[in-house]
Amino acid sequence: MKKILQQVVACLCAVTLLLSACKKDNEVPTVNYTVKVTYPVTYTKSAAAGVKVTLTNSVTNTSTSAVTNEEGVATLNGLLPGNYQVIASRDLTAEEALPLTGYSVAVYLNASALNHVIQANSTASLDLVLNGSKVGGLVFKEVFYAGTKTPGGTNYLIDQFYEIYNNSTEVMYADSLCLADIQGNPAISSSVKPTGFQSDVNNAYARNVWMIPGNGKTYPIEPGKSIIIAQTAINHKTDPAGNPNSVDLGKGISDFEVYVASSTRDVDNPDVPNMIAIYTPTPGFYWQTYVFGPSMIIFKHPNPASLPQLMEPGTTATTLYMQVPNANIIDGVDFLANATAGDKKRLPVAVDAGFKYASGTYNGESMVRKSKGNGTNGRLIYQDTNNTTDDFKVVPQATPKK
Ligand SMILES: [Ca+2]
Ligand SMILES: [Ca+2]
């Protein structure tokens, strides 16, 4: 028996030698690459240690990760030359954030370099400056965009809603919070092109912007509580013009609704305050966002109506889109038509590094943020890594205020 084993081992060694010899002949030259990561300029320190840097090859979809050392340098060895998506991210606990920011509030930092080309025999280093998102604050908890079908099988398209949750430990105010849908087709068909704004990694481009009213302290959201902005704030289940297969979005569930004043079809529930139209060139009858998957942001800006309006590069359309800087975006979520629609992403990676999709349209499916468990006072804490692929799950039925 021992002899047989020895022969097997010898044989394996020979095969291994042969394989490594073969490998040497066909070897593709690989690159040893370093990425240097620094904190935002307002931080007390420059070099960012403990940052996870992930490089994903755009062709093979293979990912390689490394963590930065005390000098803020991550070393990634043996990379194939090619086009990469580079993402750096770091969660700072409240304790870690205090000496860096002066505030004892948890921060989520990230940075990215999209379509970054690494050449053969390259010894270059990439510099990334982390961007702090206003974490610990308001997040999309549920986004229901797919719509439902009536018992008769008709598409029912007025029950979309956006639930926004206070994920922090302090009271936050909904006053002047803006909700916008972002330009770009979610890949409804295979011939669709990515949005011409995709190359701008520092801004999102809004099709329509609606704002919550209030004087600054009118609409407090307690920690662990949420608000709902409904497309149409009625009890869709019992309303005579509604749909028993839908959900209750009436008074007591919806906090605000979008009322398209110019529409001949939209209805205004007098018991639910209306959103203020800031920039609404294409509201349609109901401001229905893509049932194939919208890209949504919430943001605050001292004067949102003053934000620049731009045409989409690479198109001849004269429609203008409102430019919202990443720095003003509080949360963003990208939903697309299917699993292979990733190249149609509309939000900058720093806002949302991924995307989620429903299995169809008008099927009642809803997007819900995953919870991370309970915090103080039993409030639920929701996962927020600015990556919708990881942070959201698909549920078969919408669950407003659940
Ligand atoms: Ca409406
Ligand atoms: Ca109303």
Sign of CA dihedral 277, 278, 284, 286: negative
Do the bridges between strand 31-38 and strand 125-129 make them parallel or antiparallel, or are there none, so unpaired? parallel
Distances (CA, A) of 332 to 133, 181, 182: 11, 10, 10
| pLDDT over 70 at 85, yes or no | yes
Token duo for residue 36: 């240097």
List the 73-79 sheet strands across, edge first: 73-79, 31-38, 125-129
Domain boundary among 133, 157, 181: 133
Cα(361) to centroid(ligand 2), Å: 27
- Claim to verify: residue 63 and residue 121 sit in the same structural domain: yes
Considering every ligand atom shown, identify the ligand nearest to the alpha carbon of residue 213 and give its number: 2
Burial (CB < 10 A; 0-12, 13-18, 19+), residue 70, is: exposed
Q: Per-residue pLDDT tens for 61-74?
A: 888 999 999 999 99
Q: pLDDT category, 29, cuts 50, 70, 90?
A: confident
Q: pLDDT category, 27, cuts 50, 70, 90?
A: low
Considering every ligand atom shown, identify the ligand nearest to the alpha carbon of residue 260 and give its number: 1
Q: What is the pLDDT of residue 16?
A: 47
* Domain extent for 62: 31-133
Distance CA 43, CA 132 (A): 10
| CATH number (domain holding residue 91) | 2.60.40.10
- Claim to verify: residue 274 and residue 152 sit in the same structural domain: yes
Mean pLDDT in residue range 342-369: 94
Cα(38) to centroid(ligand 2), Å: 47
Q: Per-residue pLDDT tens for 253-270?
A: 999 999 999 999 999 999
Token duo for residue 22: 């073969």
Cα(332) to centroid(ligand 2), Å: 25
Distance CA 184, CA 334 (A): 10
**Per DSSP, what are the bridge partners of residue 75?**
34
- Claim to verify: residue 85 and residue 146 sit in the same structural domain: no
The number of distinct structural domains making up the chain is 2
Considering every ligand atom shown, identify the ligand nearest to the alpha carbon of residue 266 and give its number: 1
Cα(177) to centroid(ligand 2), Å: 17
Cα(32) to centroid(ligand 1), Å: 55
Mean pLDDT in residue range 117-126: 79
- Claim to verify: residue 117 and residue 170 sit in the same structural domain: no
Cα(232) to centroid(ligand 1), Å: 4
Domain boundary among 74, 109, 133: 133
Considering every ligand atom shown, identify the ligand nearest to the alpha carbon of residue 210 and give its number: 1
- Claim to verify: residue 104 and residue 79 sit in the same structural domain: yes
Cα(261) to centroid(ligand 1), Å: 9
